[in-house]
Amino acid sequence: MCGIFGYMGPKQAAPILVEGLRRLEYRGYDSSGIALKNGDFSIYKKTGKVVELQSILPEKLHGNVGIAHTRWATHGGVTDPNAHPHLSENGKVVIVHNGIIENSRTLRNLLKKKGVVFNSETDSEVISHILEYELNRDNSPTDALRRTLSKLVGTWGLCAIFLDHDVMLCARNGSPLIIGQGDGETFVSSDPHALSTHTQRVVFMDDGDIATLTTDQITMSNIHGDSFDTDITVLEEEWEEAELGEFEHYMLKEIYEQPDSLRQCINGRLDRVRGNGRLGGLNLTPLELSKLPHVRLLGCGTAYHAAEIGGLLIESLARVPSVAHIASEFRTNEPVVNPNALHFAISQSGETADTLSALKEIQLKGGSVHGVVNVVGSSIARQCGKGVYIHSGPEQAVASTKAFSNMVAALTIFSIQVARSRSLSKEKGKEIINGLQQIPHLIEEYLANQGPIMEAVDLVKDAKSVLFLGRGISAPVAKEGALKLMEVAYIPCLAYPAGEMKHGPIALLEEGSPVIFIVPNDHVKEKSRSAIHECRARGAKIILIHEQGDDISDEGDINIAIPKVNNYLSPMLTVLPLQLISYHAALALGCDVDRPRNLAKSVTVE
């Protein structure tokens, strides 16, 4: 959730670190800080966004080695002293840390008894003091770090620099760190895309790894002292950071990128002749697909909604029992894992701690998990070792939009692939494959003619709450719409399968209550029509998302038409007006659209 950036090389480190922080800011943005080595350590920390930190930095800040951090508070409030970096007692070691040190209270008490004075309330500060203590016991920096790590319980992505040693040390356990190798310079980052303007040559650290860095050398070892070869990966170009261009916000830019990012996802993966999908990374033979006892799909937030849609598609097209699970609940609910079943871990960032632990639990019980992930080389992608990349390109707004559509597209292709290995006919397969091929074009068509979005915004922006309803495949879309409006515009939202409305949520309705209905022209449309009438009869104002020219198109008070679409593929169209309503409502309410309060792009704590 926090972001780390580090630099050592011939250049002035400060501007490189600040730029790195700016690129990582979406990971956490309650405070940030920077430490530079220049004979001594110069440390600056500030609550608020990276621009706040920038505003307190002196114009000339010298030093060729430095580390920096953007924070998302876990232990200790959002204050300047709690921001990282943290300096050790005698000022010899400075660290930045992502993750949680679970035994920090015990360690803090032990250190206090030894006379150490703490400057923050964070769990992380213990690390700098223990590291200095171990260094003073004549250990090399790397050995001192090993001894320090052996005392910690919890998770870490950790970076340390030393006043008396020309090395930077990194360690990973549960929180990502990537090292970039430049020409006579070395970088460290929590994210590959923050490195890509400096170098394409990177090392993805694994849990348990320790890296000892100089300007021209990366030496890898582990906590036990075993060393191993440095495995350099060359990054693909798609990980270069996208600039805003003509757009005011990343969220809007990413909504508009959906046609192209979908093309990236489906290109080469549709077999139009055989009416089949071609997801290479799955490595499953038709025989294996035909024998699947069931499928489980795991994710959090938007990824969970995509999982629900995937589950419905797999079950209805391939006739394999399929269930989506909220990953944060899965591990602790003592799941029964069938080693013959197929499991999917779905995640944009590939770093979501809840999803990662759920997948490890499945693997521990002999199950096999495929990743459906956006960020190449991320922890979930690596832990699964198989699966598909959704190829959305970097998604920088905290609210996920284009990744949702690509997750749904990838899972749709998978559903067709399993379905074709079972009972789905070639004709039916071709129909859906051709429909999928058309989706990017239909999205462009809708974005060119969005309908009365601003009228819908006027209706929801001052509402006490907004109810989202949909049936069948549109029920998870309703949930996604509610999540989006809630997270960017801070409006309380509820989402229900439309049939459940009369079993409780109907009590909320009063004169003027906004209800958003998602009703594509599918087999449950008529049931949704009845639910619309039931809400209307209680004075609710209906915002209806429907297909162009459909006979339901005037049932709402505000009617938003999407192009006609294959029933199985409607979520990729019906979600668009919901994304736009959320974006414009947030703007109208003066919210920070790309950086909603309290949130972070990748949630790396459980």
Q: Pull the structure tokens for residue 146.
A: 């090993």
Which of 430, 479, 541, 601 is an active site residue? 601
Stretch near ligand AGP under the rule CB under 6 A, chosen from 20-28, 162-170, 178-186, 394-402 = 394-402
Among 9, 63, 174, 301, binds ligand AGP (CB under 6 A): 301
> Nearest residue by C-beta to ligand AGP?
301
User: How would you classify residue 546: left for phi > 0, otherwise alpha for psi between -120 and 50, otherwise beta?
Assistant: beta
Among 303, 353, 565, 581, binds ligand AGP (CB under 6 A): 303
Provide, rounded to whole angstroms, the least separation between the CB of residue 308 and ligand AGP.
Answer: 13
Among 142, 302, 396, 582, binds ligand AGP (CB under 6 A): 302
Peptide bond into 571 cis (omega under 30): no
Among 279, 300, 460, 558, binds ligand AGP (CB under 6 A): 300
Q: Does 348 bind ligand AGP (CB under 6 A)?
A: yes
Among 221, 400, 405, 582, binds ligand AGP (CB under 6 A): 400
Q: Nearer to ligand AGP by C-beta: 125 or 487? A: 487
Alpha-carbon torsion angle 154, 157, 161, 165, nearest 10: 80
- Reference 100, options 178, 158, 31, 35; nearest CA is 158
Q: Pull the structure tokens for residue 584.
A: 């414009």
In b/e form, how buried is each residue of 285-313, taking b as 16+ CB within 10 angstroms?
A: eeeebeebeebbbbbbbbbbbbbbbbbbb
Per the annotation, the verdict on 384 as an active-site residue is: no
Q: Does 398 bind ligand AGP (CB under 6 A)?
A: yes
Judged by CB under 6 A, how many residues of this single chain contact ligand AGP?
Answer: 15
Residue 418 carries which side chain, given as an amino acid letter? V
Distance of alpha carbon 128 from alpha carbon 110, whole angstroms: 14
Distance of alpha carbon 357 from alpha carbon 380, whole angstroms: 9
Q: Does 603 bind ligand AGP (CB under 6 A)?
A: yes
Are 66 and 20 spatial neighbours (Cβ–Cβ below 8 Å)? Answer: no
The pattern of x and - marking residues 477 through 516 that bind ligand AGP according to CB under 6 A reads: ----------x-----------------------------
Provide, rounded to whole angstroms, the least separation between the CB of residue 604 and ligand AGP.
Answer: 10
Q: Nearer to ligand AGP by C-beta: 195 or 399? A: 399
Q: Does 261 bind ligand AGP (CB under 6 A)?
A: no
In b/e form, how buried is each residue of 27-39, taking b as 16+ CB within 10 angstroms?
A: bbbbbbbbbbbee
Provide, rounded to whole angstroms, the least separation between the CB of residue 127 and ligand AGP.
Answer: 26
Among 122, 349, 559, 570, binds ligand AGP (CB under 6 A): 349
**Residue 274: other Cβ atoms inside 10 A:** 13
Return the SS3 of 371: strand
Strand partners, 324: 297
Q: Does 347 bind ligand AGP (CB under 6 A)?
A: yes
Per the annotation, the verdict on 2 as an active-site residue is: yes
Stretch near ligand AGP under the rule CB under 6 A, chosen from 98-106, 298-306, 529-537, 572-580 = 298-306
HSE value, Cβ hemisphere, 13 Å, CA-based, for 264: 19
Summarize as ranges the residues that interact with ligand AGP (CB under 6 A). 300-303, 347-349, 352, 355, 398-400, 487, 602-603
Which positions are annotated as active-site residues? 2, 601
